[in-house]
Amino acid sequence: MRLFEAIVEANQRAVKGDARAGIHVSEFADSLPVVALTCIDPRLNKLMPGVLGVPEEQFIWLRNAGNIITSSLSSTTRSLALACAVKGGKEIAIIGHSDCKVRQTSVGEMVDRFRALGVERARLPDNLVEYFGLFASERQNVIKAVDFVRSSPLIGSKVPVHGLLVDTATGKLEWVVNGYQALAAPATAQPSAHVNVDGPKLTKPTQVSASEGEELPPPPKPQIIPAPPPLLPKRPMPTRTRAPWER
């Protein structure tokens, strides 16, 4: 069993009342420390990192409003990358939570709240949904964030990126994305050279060298040599009669 599989299993046992539930941190030394991105909701203060069963010194905690990542090169992704490269993080977890206030805030409500702080609508970005990363589902928000992190060129290809949800009332963890399974998934197969992906017909297969895998040039066209012109028959030279004075 791997680290986060053990974490989720022990967490769910503890939620059911198993007082002995927990993980032996020493067994997962190669997977520590972990890097976690969560929301800024104060209700998480008493939950992290206890619900994971990881000691504080092995828990690198990043937070933003709504645990939102807006691109594979965003400032939050940069912080996750540095947490791995500089602080030695081995695995990443994007942890959303139930009853998220960011999800419950509409664009109109957000404009009103900023106006109450003295920030008029004209001073805000044009696309508030895109800029603030507003979302309609905590689960989909976690999936989107994991996709951005996993596709980021800043994150090592062997670093598992997990997605989890935590119930703020009970502390129960739920899998959203198992990062181990994502790493083990085979790469998407590319279409073969002779398949026309734009339509149902097949094009002529490309001739490929079995030894080098390089495309061979088309065979040379046969050279046509014109036939020589027919030979004319030789005519005998006429016999010239000498004049008397030449005898």
Residues 10-52: pLDDT tens digits? 999 999 999 999 999 999 999 999 999 999 999 999 999 999 9
Query: Which pLDDT tens digit goes with each residue over 92-117?
Result: 999 999 998 888 888 899 999 999 99
**What is the CATH number that goes with domain 3-99+134-177?**
3.40.1050.10
For residue 35, CA distances in Å to 107, 195, 205, 233 come to 31, 43, 48, 100
- pLDDT band at residue 180, thresholds of 50, 70 and 90? very high
Tokens 């965003």 correspond to what residue?
A: 74
pTM over 0.85: no
| DSSP assigned state of 55 | -
From 161, 121, 128, select the one nearest 144 (Cα to Cα): 161
Q: Are 78 and 154 in contact (CB under 8 A)?
A: yes
122 contacts: CB under 8 Å, gap ≥ 6: none
171: number of Cβ within 10 Å:
15
> Which residue ranges make up each domain of the chain?
3-99+134-177
CA 68 to chain centre: 16
